[in-house]
Structure 1
């Protein structure tokens, strides 16, 4: 039995145990939580249990994220609940502190637990994987403090293995790029506003329409730094006028291309950390 097969078996065995009773999945519509949701729905059939996909619609995520989550939840047949939460109203989060991810996760999962407790649900599953442990992810601490279960992490699944198993299940978002919250586009200590995040989201969406897969706009005041996969850097220059014109219409004065390419978590470099978002 291969290492992947062992992990797969351990994951499904655990999911079989969790779904003996009704269960909730913190569901973003990404590959990780979609795999958990799909596996939960299939395993729950043996027990007649209900699986609730709970998506948090927040100020730090785009409407595209919500639409994707709604689509995948419908594909799996899970009961879908959308919680609307404004993190920017919470003390501390608006100024994008270094521990923002911890504060945010603590808030979101506390609200999630309150909601599913009304349904008589004790077990909440979420999509942290083993690769996430290598990055700067203070939100993991909040997940652990609240007793949320991370079955992919527990089984030792890497992101690549998550995508592999998601593809085996026929999950439509198996290869969907990571979609971290929009706060990750700004330096720590920057006041977060809906206007700033909407502009960054619009700019990324436009560049993606030109055929780019991983895209991040890192914003520092009036300067925007474009990150795309390294093997696509030259392609950006072919669209330099279109991209520059579009981004300047969004309010950016200086448009730059990061020659190091897309780096997950590049805003964490100032911390001397590992990156990851």
Structure 2
């Protein structure tokens, strides 16, 4: 199916709803979904962003700016994942616990604003990995318009570029809790360390980056361009000095580079089917 046809199918799908609340993180996918929903439904769409210690302030600020520019009603709600029973222990269904609580809060916001539907922005690429959050999507009766339109991440980027969205080449983002190996406790201090470390690397000029937390070890994942950048001795020493200030003892560069869901590599095969 052509990309233009998928785009038209997305708009047709969205037009079938009276109104929609979009779970909006400010990332590539949710920005594109919100933009198209606004185009189709005009003022019958609102954006809802959850604020927590696993959601960097830079991402919240970008979400706020986008909604202001596009004149979209934007509601920011508190959704502190660490208060969810069992979440901080980082079980393999961590994302399910988080999404369940998140969608419950978005439904509350939707009902207060007389909105009958809520939508999230997972795409076709999310079907090929361990995504327990998709179970919550189904249970909470949340719409997934981008998957309904069979859109992949690269296709969303291409369409975003055509629409003039600055997020078309933005790095992929997942909540900071995804930086921890399953079973390792998630704490506010550790989340703050990851946030500071990633912000430092982004300020250096890296585009796609993750700092994975392994206790006193920070494992940096970045793309090929980033790996070449990190090979310079002055850069490595500068990073090490800053990461020591943040609280890490050791700093490593992952030789495989950035990849989505790298923490899932430790999971048993039966969970990945």
Q: Distance in 2 between matches of 1:136 and 1:93?
A: 17
Cα distance in 2 between the residues matched to 1:194 and 1:81: 24
Corresponding residue number in structure 2 for 1:42: 39
TM-score by length of 1: 0.93
Label 1:273 to 1:243 Cα distance change in 2 as closer, same or farther (>3 A): farther
Q: Is the 8 A contact 1:136 1:273 kept in 2?
A: no
Corresponding residue of 1:250: 246
**Aligned-residue RMSD, C-alpha:** 1.7
- The residue aligned with 1:155 is 149
Secondary structure, counterpart of 1:184 in structure 2: helix
**CA 274–200 in structure 1, closer or farther in 2 if over 3 Å, else same:** farther
Q: What corresponds to 1:13 in structure 2? A: 12
C-alpha separation in 1, matches of 2:270 and 2:146: 21
Q: Structure 1 residue 198 and structure 2 residue 192: aligned?
A: yes
Q: 1:244, CA displacement in angstroms?
A: 0.4
What is the CA–CA distance in structure 1 between the aligned matches of 2:19 and 2:228, rounded to whole Å? Answer: 50
Identify the residue that residue 82 of structure 1 maps to in structure 2: 76
* 1:273–1:175 CA distance, 2 compared to 1 (3 A): farther
**Residues 91 and 182 of structure 2 are in contact (CA less than 8 Å); yes or no, is this contact kept in structure 1?**
yes
Which portions of structure 1, spanning 4 or more consecutive aligned residues, are displaced by more than 2 angstroms?
Answer: 272-276
C-alpha distance in 2, partners of 1:200/1:193? Answer: 11
1:259 is aligned, of 255, 261, 269, to: 255
Deviation at 1:275, TM superposition (A): 11
Q: Which runs of 5+ in 2 are unaligned?
A: none
Distance 1:39 1:65 in 2: 20
CA deviation after TM superposition for structure 1 residue 50, in Å: 2.3
2:166 is paired with a residue whose SS is coil
